Amino acid sequence: MRWNLAILRYSSSSFDGIERKIGSSCEYTATLLANGQVLVAGGLGPAGVTLASAEAYDSLHQTWHSVAGLAAGRFLHTATLLATGEVLVVGGFGDFNLYASAEIYNAATDTWRPAASLATPRYQHRATLLPDGRVLVTGGYGNAHALQSAEIYDPTTDSWTPAGDMAAPHFGHTATLLRNGHVLVAGGADAGVDDEVYDPSSDGWSSAGSLPVQRLQHSATMLLDGRVLIAAGTASGSAGLASAQIYDAARDVNQNRKPLLDSVTALLTGANAVQLSGSDFRPAMEASGGGTNASATNYPVVQVMRLDSEQVQWLPAHPMQNFDDSSFNSSTDALQGFPDGQLLVTVFVNGVAGAARMTVLAPDDPLFGDGFDNP
């Protein structure tokens, strides 16, 4: 594995202003739910008030609505979407209290229930959903010092177990699930020289080398080829960073995390869309942590490629149809203007590509129909 410097160019863009119900806040968590809505929980409100409130954003109708609030107001916590579709909120800080407590939100019933508490109270930690459904919590700040401990939550038993200490303390870091099921812990204050990788199968840590530019409060994004893009953040002297770096992990893939694509249907009559069916389309979703968000890669990414010219198009999901573990529908104009011919369709989940399938993008013609799937 190795770290490389990356050069990025940004262009300006605008955002639609959609006012939240609760108003301005920071250091909250925002978690994509299985129903396509986004749960915003806790945070720090105006005048430094710790918030216990929560709300959900409906992207289909572009509206906010209040949901049941946390039992304890907190900020700089983590929120992780579990395999059950529930959300685990862990730790944080609030009203001069450092929290070890955890809560679980059920969107179907709009209720919170208590979960087992951490062994060590912490905030500015990171939480990563492992492929087996457990949650790895790493580092953070607690008891007046940065933490190098890690703990694992098992939702089936509602219990925490130690995950072994990291070589150095980390807080304000990122913790990214790699394609092989390991977790990359990168950057953060008090991180020392090396970044680290956790292997759940051996319950052990190993060195991942060193970031060329040490940073904290940065972002980490899993790329489609399995590399991890580390961008922005701040240096130890609080100076903002515009640079980015890439971690090139071993390219081995946990075969249990590969999506399986069974069929592809190209719909051209007034739709210009693609329908996919298969399995394992729903990724292992990571957490957001206060002001620092590790990319969740929390949706399947679909690529179509022309066989003759290798022209590529990425397909956005249909905004009114939620994807699930076995189906995906592209937006209705996803293939508008794309040339007819034979296509190779590939689904990427958490940076892992499934086996591609071929389909034919054909004109609306009785000879070809609306497109067909080839095994």
The whole-angstrom separation of Cα 358 and Cα 233 is 42
Domain boundary, last residue among 252, 283, 298: 252
Question: What's the sign of the alpha-carbon dihedral 178, 330, 293, 86?
Answer: negative
Residues 241 and 272 in one domain: no
Residues 120 and 17 in one domain: yes
Residues 229 and 316 in one domain: no
CATH code (residue 238): 2.120.10.80
**Mean pLDDT highest for which of 56-60, 67-71, 320-324?**
67-71
Confidence category of residue 367, pLDDT binned at 50, 70, 90:
very low
The whole-angstrom separation of Cα 144 and Cα 92 is 14
Residues 75 and 200 in one domain: yes
Query: What is residue 325's predicted lDDT score, i.e. its pLDDT?
Result: 82
**43-57, 86-100, 137-151, 361-375, range with the lowest pLDDT:** 361-375
pLDDT at 254 over 80: no
pLDDT at 279 over 60: yes
Confidence category of residue 199, pLDDT binned at 50, 70, 90:
very high
In percent, how much of the chain has pLDDT > 70?
Answer: 78
Residues 223 and 296 in one domain: no
Which letter, b or e, does each residue of 200-217 get, where b requires 16 or more Cβ atoms within 10 Å of its Cβ? beeeebeebbebebbbbb
Residues 185 and 310 in one domain: no
Domain range for residue 314? 256-374
Query: What is residue 200's predicted lDDT score, i.e. its pLDDT?
Result: 92
Residues 164 and 75 in one domain: yes
Residues 8 and 39 in one domain: yes
**Mean pLDDT highest for which of 88-92, 177-181, 355-359?**
88-92
Confidence category of residue 285, pLDDT binned at 50, 70, 90:
low
Task: Name 92's Cβ contacts closer than 8 Å, sequence gap at least 6.
Answer: 42, 74, 75, 76, 77, 78, 99, 123, 290
pLDDT at 11 over 90: no
pLDDT at 69 over 90: yes
Residues 137 and 198 in one domain: yes
The whole-angstrom separation of Cα 196 and Cα 137 is 14
Domain boundary, last residue among 224, 252, 280: 252
Sheet holding 292-293, edge to edge: 111-115, 102-106, 87-90, 78-81, 288-289, 292-293
Confidence category of residue 328, pLDDT binned at 50, 70, 90:
confident
Closest CA to 137 of 156, 122, 157, 158: 122
Mean pLDDT of 219-229: 82
Q: Residue 271 in 3-state DSSP?
A: coil
- The answer for 270, left when phi > 0, alpha when psi is -120 to 50, beta otherwise, is left
Query: What is residue 10's predicted lDDT score, i.e. its pLDDT?
Result: 37
Confidence category of residue 289, pLDDT binned at 50, 70, 90:
very low
Task: Name 181's Cβ contacts closer than 8 Å, sequence gap at least 6.
Answer: 130, 131, 200, 201, 254, 257
Residues 225 and 269 in one domain: no
Residues 223 and 310 in one domain: no
**Which DSSP state fits 307?**
T
Residues 261 and 159 in one domain: no
> How many domains is the chain built from?
2
